[in-house]
Structure 1
């Protein structure tokens, strides 16, 4: 389970809850944190929560990984959904924390089969709703 490069393990629940988000759409988002050399679930947002609820759930001074199920309507009036993987690494977080998250990101992302788009943000403006929409369309 541990990755030789980063020494990071991924808790099984991380994958199981992601599959629920992808298949059953029971959640809007999931945030993950690294604790004791393991990626684990931090918070789960219900299907009725908004993108604003999601961004407000991210800590201002700690890194997180997150997946967000973004629903939108295309110019052709088709309802669509895309799953974003967001690497949140605020400038105010500790350097060591940023390094651990950066070195583990690709391996963790591979565990979550079905991610369609990726976004890295160091400040809330880098993951505004306008950016999310422009990436999804």
Structure 2
């Protein structure tokens, strides 16, 4: 499904910097003011926490989030996964939910290196425990 929404070229270049140089802990992406593209709404420094990330997801609007998720993989030591979140909370309006769902594949194609995908409509679906469980099942 194509929505006609483009991915701002700045998103791709900043993502590549983020991925290669650990420039940020996470990026929050969303519709631009003119609703014609996906753009960067916020970046967080590498010392930001998972709680900071969750606090940047609005309760009544959709967002994409890209997070470097570090976790202990047991005998394999510490691992880092690039996680793409599609946040479409229950309180968000239907039109943005449809736009975000329809634009996700284009975003994923533009951002090479996403390893895990999380879709959340409420806090339980994006909890740190849920993300950790998904990371551990994929790293096996």
TM-score range, shorter chain: over 0.9
Deviation (angstroms), 1:114: 0.1
Give the secondary structure class of the aligned counterpart of 1:27.
Answer: coil
Deviation (angstroms), 1:86: 0.3
Aligned to 2:27: 30
Deviation (angstroms), 1:95: 0.5
- Kindly tell me the number of residue pairs found equivalent between the two proteins: 134
Separation in structure 2 between the aligned mates of residue 17 and residue 76 of structure 1, nearest angstrom: 33
Give the secondary structure class of the aligned counterpart of 2:74.
Answer: coil
Aligned to 1:124: 123
- The aligned runs of 1:108-123 (5 Å cut-off) are 108-123=107-122
Deviation (angstroms), 1:77: 5.2
Give the secondary structure class of the aligned counterpart of 1:104.
Answer: helix
**Structure 1 runs of 4+ with >6 Å offset:** none
Deviation (angstroms), 1:20: 1.4
Segments of 5+ residues of structure 1 without an aligned counterpart are: none
Residue deviations 1:80-99 (CA, integer Å, cap 9, x gap): 10010000000000001111
Separation in structure 2 between the aligned mates of residue 5 and residue 85 of structure 1, nearest angstrom: 19
Give the secondary structure class of the aligned counterpart of 1:91.
Answer: coil
Q: TM-score, normalised by structure 2?
A: 0.92
Residue deviations 1:33-70 (CA, integer Å, cap 9, x gap): 01221000011011000110000011110000111000
Segments of 5+ residues of structure 2 without an aligned counterpart are: none
Equivalent position to 1:11, from 8, 16, 31:
8
Deviation (angstroms), 1:5: 2.1
Give the secondary structure class of the aligned counterpart of 1:76.
Answer: helix
- The aligned runs of 1:63-82 (5 Å cut-off) are 63-76=62-75, 78-82=77-81
1:98 has 2:102 as partner: no
